[in-house]
Amino acid sequence: MNSHEIEYKIYGDDMQFVEVELDPGESTIAEAGAMMMFEEGIGMETIFGDGSSSSEQGLFGKLLGAGKRVLTGESLFMTVFTNQSQAVKHVSFAGPYPGKIIPVDLSLLNGKIICQKDAFLCAAKGVSVGIEFQRKLGAGFFGGEGFIMQKLEGDGLAFLHAGGTIYRKELQPGERLKIDTGCLVAMTRNVNYNIEFVGKVKSAFFGGEGLFFATVEGPGTVWIQSLPFSRLADRIFAAAPSNGGQTRGEGSVLGGLSNLFER
């Protein structure tokens, strides 16, 4: 294997974190800000790109790897955690919002998966984090994930983070599934992906489901989330108070009386 062989354990239910076990000399890479805690003896280093062998071949390779991450909206930097001691050590990572952590073994998935640009959490060192251009303009301009998605390549373990409950669907050859564009988390390399118009004008403008949905066609595997962060953020924004931030007694009789006397 080119990637480090790491062990892991996932804790929690709706607010999960993953604990990665590192043998002496082993490393894991993670998004900047994903670290939760690590034990004494683990060294932390910030690097350009993802630290895979392809991005370490000179300065140009490192800048190219970092530039790819900018295109996906991620930070220029990633963090590498290496066990520098002679004993087994642990480092833990958590997602930025409530949800589930999805472990994926790339060696069992033909060495590649395609995912939302903000789904990647951490991986064994040696896994390459790059960009995947959607060939079809419809998928690029109208998909919830945008024209550019992330691709994870290699033969090691990687961890994705998604919101709500995660559903893994095995698609048979020719089997098609229509998904809300924001609910599609990841898919294997052989899944055919496109964006389609809802079809009826009334459904598009008054149905509340958006103008487009994603269609995926097998064979392959797709991961679907029940609560995209964009949907959660929209609900929070809609429920936010519009009275200058005063939320005292909102929605109650006491709140109404308070507002009456303040006028």
Strand pairing class (89-94; 35-38) = antiparallel
Q: Which of these, 164, 168, 159, lies nearest to 18 by C-alpha position?
A: 159
Predicted confidence (pLDDT) per residue in 70-98, tens digit: 555 555 678 999 999 999 999 999 988 88
State yes or no: pLDDT of 48 exceeds 80: no
Mean pLDDT along residues 157-162: 95
From CA 235, how far away is CA 241, in angstroms rounded? 12
pLDDT at 237: 72
Predicted confidence (pLDDT) per residue in 162-202, tens digit: 998 999 999 999 999 998 888 999 999 999 988 777 665 45
Q: Which residue has the tokens 């898919």?
A: 187
Q: Which of these, 116, 11, 32, lies nearest to 75 by C-alpha position?
A: 32
From CA 43, how far away is CA 22, in angstroms rounded? 11
Torsion angle in degrees (nearest 10) through CA of 146, 10, 107, 152: 20
Give me 14's structure tokens: 């709706």
pLDDT at 136: 53
State yes or no: pLDDT of 222 exceeds 90: yes
Instruction: Note if the bond before 219 is cis, omega within 30 degrees.
Output: yes
Mean pLDDT along residues 124-153: 69
Torsion angle in degrees (nearest 10) through CA of 150, 145, 191, 114: 10
pLDDT at 180: 86
Q: Are 107 and 155 in contact (CB under 8 A)?
A: yes
For each of the domains in the chain, give its residue range(s) and CATH number, in order of start.
7-241 (3.60.160.10)
Mean pLDDT along residues 27-40: 93
pLDDT at 11: 96
With cut-offs at 50, 70 and 90, classify the pLDDT of residue 225.
very high
pLDDT at 67: 55
Give me 193's structure tokens: 């992906």
Q: Which of these, 132, 160, 153, 157, lies nearest to 69 by C-alpha position?
A: 132
